[in-house]
């Protein structure tokens, strides 16, 4: 989706993080926690994942805090700890806070045992899964993060939304190149892509979703209203049952095994007064438990080089490595400022004004 | 693919395992190892995964042993062990032997640390990944097994086969229901499906693969000869880059991190005199590290029940759980005998005759 420049203001990342954190503090979130949440949200925008960025600060988080649906003072605690594994209770607080704490714990365990692995129950939406998997990188570790989420996708042969877009993320340190960072929903597309196509009145590939009777359709309105997303792979004949299986496995680990909610039990952050019951599952894996870091980096260089220099398909001009586009976007947005949609900017302006928080000046355009 | 009964003989599973093991012993495989390999192969046939069953005994294994390409006396050894993790060298032996040993080690580690995690390098084709993940079930554990394999699939935007069909498998114990067993290639379809369509002269969905110029095609001949499989998701517009990312992540863990071969470095078991350099990666995870087993089983029952009783899409008559079809097939084949294609049966007959091994009587048809 192309962003139209006129719809956006650009804001320096540090200033955007600062006001997001200050706003969260106004709703009784402790400063150290507010800092984590704002860092996760603005990192999403920096990486070009606008759907999970600062635009969600109000509808997903502040609105829930305001209404008392979510606990601002959560202090995620470990309910079970055995060897290299643990289970954690997110206390219906901000998902970012719980998942950040869990990943820190995994990293500590991985130093001791080669791997650390933890489940988090009773949590909420946590932004981009890639943020947490990437926490492992600076420790010379591989990070993995998965989560369940509110149901939007259809199990193969069903017409009921039972699966979330249940993300899978893995981050692997590399040598010369940027790290390999896969951060993907296990549906073909996110619901946002359907929503945008509906608004614009354009058709979508019939592999993206089904109507309310579970039939593949090119009409985004029918997918959006009463239908649902196909899991990765699309319908049955193009192996959508594999995406269904992956998504179900993520729900089992994040929801069933952690003691959190699962399937239709995971509630919608925008509308539900009840705790959403989101569950996450994270791991950190020490590279040096398997191989010396210098050798591993050299091998990752070779791996990436072999992919990048492979012969191109007709009409294509580049082979990408997972995360590569997002790192380029990050660099550009660090330089030019983070694009914030004018509607989101107006929302932030109103909130800041209400709380006497000074808004940063947007960057001036440099054509 | 419908099996035509006339093309198959049915053989009792124990008898089939026995001759497979005896044949392997003729090629200097120790009895305990031969037992593992024959169990893996016949389990695939029992589960209806004919492509990975007894039909591969000769072309993938005995042929390589015969020609001295593979080490019959491998004794997989641990090269690094740290906490809950280890790395293992498969000594260019049968992949089944190495992966079986690694999974046993994971289970032991998981008893001590909640999780056990191991890589295997310098291995060979190992049959179905699901065999190893399912080893964890009887221990009250969740098993995970992934592997790289010879390149057959195309990275998004490339026309070169660089990715294997790199399988992902996870097995989760359940309560009343059969366990959840996902065992899937990360390409849309296996190459065998393309081969069969080519032989029959029927078109395939253009999401399955591309021609030698990397363009999506419905002609299986063009995919088979010089083209390649699409990763799960198909081409770019239906999110094939996600399947590409998953497959690459599997290759990183199984190939790069273990010290095995990766991408085009993984060689074809049918033709290569060099060691294939296949790498695997396995884990076992103790359920009770997270939750009491009785509670977990109850929750798995609810999870499965919610999926099985969901409203059906138009024209569909059943929602499946991963592994469900394979368990039904297993029950039927245990009762009726394992279907062995007549061509494979002739191959086995000739081999057995050469080594004076008594062939079992096929089951008589009971119409």
Instruction: Give Cβ neighbours of residue A288 (< 8 Å, ≥ 6 apart).
Output: A140, B82
Instruction: Give the domain-ending residue among A272, A293, A314.
Output: A293
Residue A288's Cβ-count burial label (10 Å; 0-12, 13-18, 19+) is: middle
Confidence (pLDDT) at B365:
61
- Kindly state the average pLDDT of the residues B100-114: 98
Residue A307 covered by a domain: no
Contact B314 A286 (CB under 8 A): no
Q: Is the pLDDT of residue A367 over 50?
A: no
Could A249 and B215 be called an inter-chain contact, meaning their C-beta atoms sit closer than 8 Å?
no
pLDDT in tens, A349-363: 999 999 999 999 888
The CATH number that applies at residue A33 is 1.10.1530.10
Contacts for A59 with CB less than 8 Å, ≥ 6 apart: A269, A270
Instruction: Specify the CATH number for the domain of residue B247.
Output: 3.30.1370.60
Percentages helix, strand, coil for chain A (3-state, rounded to 5) are 45, 20, 40
- Please answer yes or no on whether A296 and B210 come within 8 Å at the CB atom: no
Upper half-sphere CA count for residue B98 (Cβ side, 13 Å): 37
Give the rounded percent of residues in chain B with a pLDDT score beyond 90: 93
Rounded to whole angstroms, the Cα distance separating B91 from B145 reads 19
Contact B32, B323 (CB under 8 A): no
Cβ-contact A216, A230 below 8 angstroms: yes
How do residues B266-321 score in pLDDT, each as one tens digit? 999 989 999 999 999 999 999 999 999 999 999 999 999 999 999 999 999 999 99
Closest CA–CA distance from residue A299 to any residue of chain B (Å): 6
The pairing of beta strand B85-89 with beta strand B115-123: parallel
Cβ-based burial of A320 (10 A; exposed 0-12, middle 13-18, buried ≥19)? middle
Q: Which residue, A146, A180, A149, A173, is CA-closest to A163?
A: A149
B306 chain-A contacts, CB cut-off 8 A: 162, 263-264
What range defines the domain where residue A236 resides? 77-188+230-293
| Residue B76 CB partners (closer than 8 Å, separation 6+) | B88, B89, B90, B91, B93, B97, B98, B101, B102, B120
Among candidate residues B287, B265, B355, B342, the one with its CA nearest the CA of residue B5: B342
For residues B264 and A310, is the Cβ–Cβ distance under 8 A?
no
Distance from B138 to chain A by nearest Cα, in Å? 17
Q: Average pLDDT, stretch B173-187? A: 96
Question: Rounded distance, CA B137 to CA B306, Å?
Answer: 22
In B, which residues are within 8 Å of A261 by CB distance? none
Same domain, B199 and B179: no
Q: How confident is the model at residue B185 (pLDDT cuts 50, 70, 90)?
A: very high
The string of DSSP letters for B85-152 reads EEEEE-TT--HHHHHHHHHHHHHHHHHHHSEEEEEEEEE---S-HHHHHHTTGGGTEEEEEEE--S--
Query: Within a domain: residue A280?
Result: yes
Query: Which of A81, A84, A262 to probe by mutation at the B interface, max B CB count within 10 Å?
Result: A84
Number of domains within chain B: 3
Instruction: Please say if the pLDDT value at position A1 is more than 90.
Output: no
Q: Would residue A198 count as lying in a domain?
A: no
Q: How far apart are CA A145 and CA A132, in angstroms?
A: 6
Q: Give the whole-angstrom CA distance, residue A211 versus residue A144.
A: 33
The angle that helices A13-26 and A342-354 make with each other, rounded to 10 degrees, is 50
Of B112, B252, B312, the CB nearest to A303: B252
Closest by alpha carbon to A220, among A253, A239, A196? A196
* Residues B154 and B266 placed together within one structural domain of the fold: yes
> Residue A210 belongs to what H/E stretch?
strand A209-210
pLDDT tens-place string over residues A324-333 = 999 999 999 9
Given pLDDT bands bounded at 50, 70 and 90, which one contains residue B367?
very low
Q: What is the ipTM of this complex?
A: 0.97
- CB nearest A322 (choices: B142, B180, B245): B245
CA distance to B34, B64, B174, B283, per residue, from B39 (Å)? 8, 19, 23, 20
Out of A117, A168, A233, whose CB is closest to B233?
A233
Distance from CA of A317 to the nearest CA of B (A): 8
Q: How far is CA A146 from CA A3, A169, A193, B141, B281, in A?
A: 28, 6, 21, 19, 19
Contact B233 A188 (CB under 8 A): yes
In a shared domain, residues A37 and A94: no
* Same domain as A286, residue A167: yes
For the purposes of burial, counting CB atoms within 10 Å of the CB of A360, is it exposed (0-12), middle (13-18) or buried (19 or more)? middle
Specify whether B21 is located in the same domain as B152.
no
- The residue-averaged pLDDT of A267-295 equals 96
Residue A367 lies in a domain: no
Q: How confident is the model at residue A2 (pLDDT cuts 50, 70, 90)?
A: low
Does residue A243 sit within a domain? Answer: yes
Q: Which residues of B touch A321 (CB under 8 A)?
A: 248
The answer on B252 and B221 residing in a single domain is no
Q: Is residue B360 part of a domain?
A: no
Indicate if A287 and A350 belong to the same structural domain.
Answer: no
Q: Mean pLDDT, to the nearest integer, of A312-318?
A: 97
Which residues neighbour A199 within 8 Å (Cβ) at sequence distance 6 or greater? none
DSSP A86: E
Model pLDDT for residues A96-113, shown as the tens digit of each residue: 999 999 999 999 999 999
- Mean pLDDT value across residues B319-329: 98
**CATH code, B193:** 3.30.60.50
Chain A hits for B82, CB-CB cut-off 8 Å, are 113-114, 286, 288-289
Direct distance between the N- and C-terminal alpha carbons of chain B, in angstroms, rounded to an integer: 22
Q: What is the mean pLDDT of residues B230-249?
A: 97
**CB spacing of A319 vs B246 below 8 angstroms:** no
Distance CA B162, CA B160 (A): 6
> Is B240 in the same domain as B122?
yes
Rounded distance, CA B231 to CA B89, Å? Answer: 29
According to DSSP, residue A363 is labeled P
Q: Which chain A residue shows the shortest CA-CA distance from B321?
A: A245
Q: Is residue B138 part of a domain?
A: yes
- b/e map of A326-356 (b: 16 or more CB within 10 Å)? bbebbeebeeebbbbbeebbebbeebbeeee
Q: Which of B135, B126, B131, B133 is nearest to B164 (CA)?
A: B126
- B313/A188 CB distance under 8 A: no
Query: Using CA atoms, how far apart are residues B153 and A223, in angstroms rounded to an integer?
Result: 31
pLDDT 10s digits, B117-170: 999 999 999 999 999 999 999 999 999 999 999 999 999 999 999 999 999 999
* Cα(B344)–Cα(B349) distance, integer angstroms: 8
Q: How far is CA B318 from CA A266, B311, B312, B324, in A?
A: 24, 9, 7, 11
- SS3 letters across A267-279: CCCCCCCCCCCEE
Q: How far apart are CA B344 and CA B9, in angstroms?
A: 10
pLDDT in tens, A209-251: 999 999 999 999 999 999 999 999 999 999 999 999 999 999 9
Distance from CA of B220 to the nearest CA of A (A): 15
pLDDT score of B366 more than 60: no
CA distance, residue A23 to nearest chain B CA (Å): 35
Residues A95 and A127 occupy one common structural domain: yes
Instruction: Establish if B331 belongs to a structural domain.
Output: no
H helices within chain A, ranges in order? 13-26, 31-46, 63-66, 95-113, 129-134, 191-200, 220-224, 240-251, 293-308, 324-336, 342-354
- Strand order in B141-147's β-sheet? B77-82, B85-89, B115-123, B278-286, B141-147, B168-172, B180-184
- Report residue A86 as tokens: 């643990």
Element (H, E) at A229: strand A228-229
**B62 contact partners, CB below 8 Å, separation of at least 6:** B23, B24, B27, B351
Residues A85 and A137 in one domain: yes
Instruction: Please indicate, yes or no, whether residues B47 and B84 belong to a single structural domain of this protein.
Output: no
Answer for the pair A93, A24: CB distance below 8 angstroms, yes or no: no
- Inter-residue contact A141 to A111 (CB < 8 Å): no
The full DSSP string for A130-156 is HHHHHTTGGGTEEEEEEE--S--BPPT
Provide the CB-side half-sphere exposure for B349 (13 A, CA).
11
Same domain, A132 and A236: yes
- Nearest-by-Cβ selection for B307 from A155, A214, A289: A155
Out of A82, A159, A210, the one facing B114 most closely (by C-beta) is A82
Contact B243 A232 (CB under 8 A): yes
Determine the straight-line distance between the first and last CA of chain A, rounded to whole angstroms: 22
Give the start-end residues of each E strand in chain B. Answer: 8-11, 77-82, 85-89, 115-123, 141-147, 168-172, 180-184, 209-210, 228-229, 278-286, 338-341
Q: Please state, rounded to an integer, the average pLDDT across all residues of chain B.
A: 96
Nearest CA in chain A to B113: A83
**Which pLDDT band holds residue B348 (cuts at 50, 70, 90)?**
very high
Return the residue of B nearest to A159 by Cα. Answer: B313
């Amino acid at each position: 989706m192309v962003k139209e420049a006129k719809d956006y203001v650009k804001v320096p990342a540090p200033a955007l993080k600062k006001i997001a954190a200050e706003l969260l503090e106004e709703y009784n979130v402790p400063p150290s926690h507010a800092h984590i949440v704002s860092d996760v949200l603005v990192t999403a925008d920096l990486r070009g994942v606008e759907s999970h960025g600062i635009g969600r600060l109000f509808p997903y988080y502040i609105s829930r805090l305001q209404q008392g649906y979510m606990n601002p003072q959560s202090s995620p605690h470990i309910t079970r700890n055995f060897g290299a594994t643990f289970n954690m209770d997110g206390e219906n607080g901000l998902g970012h806070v719980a998942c950040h704490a869990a990943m820190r714990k995994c990293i500590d365990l991985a130093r001791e045992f080669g791997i650390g692995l933890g489940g988090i129950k009773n949590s909420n939406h946590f932004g981009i899964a890639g943020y947490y998997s990437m926490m492992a990188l600076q420790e010379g570790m591989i990070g993995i993060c998965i989560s369940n989420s509110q149901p939007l996708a259809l199990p193969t042969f069903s017409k009921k939304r039972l699966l979330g877009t249940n993300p899978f993320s893995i981050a692997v340190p590399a040598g010369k190149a940027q790290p390999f960072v896969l951060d993907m929903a296990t549906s073909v597309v996110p619901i946002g892509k359907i929503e945008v196509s509906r608004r614009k009145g354009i058709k979508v590939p019939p592999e993206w979703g089904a109507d309310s009777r579970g039939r593949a359709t090119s009409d985004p309105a029918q997918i959006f209203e009463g239908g649902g997303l196909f899991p990765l792979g699309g319908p049955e004949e193009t192996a959508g049952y594999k995406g269904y299986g992956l998504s179900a496995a993520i729900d089992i680990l994040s929801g069933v095994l952690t003691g959190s909610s699962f399937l239709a039990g995971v509630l919608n952050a925008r509308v539900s007064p009840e705790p959403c019951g989101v569950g996450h599952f994270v791991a950190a894996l020490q590279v040096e438990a398997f191989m010396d870091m210098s050798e591993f980096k050299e091998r990752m260089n070779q791996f990436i080089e072999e992919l990048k220099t492979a012969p191109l398909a007709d009409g294509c001009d580049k082979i990408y490595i997972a995360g590569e586009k997002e790192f380029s976007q990050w660099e550009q947005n660090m330089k030019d400022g983070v694009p914030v949609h004018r509607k989101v900017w107006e929302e932030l302006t109103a909130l800041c004004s209400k709380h006497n928080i000074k808004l940063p000046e947007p960057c001036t355009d440099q054509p």
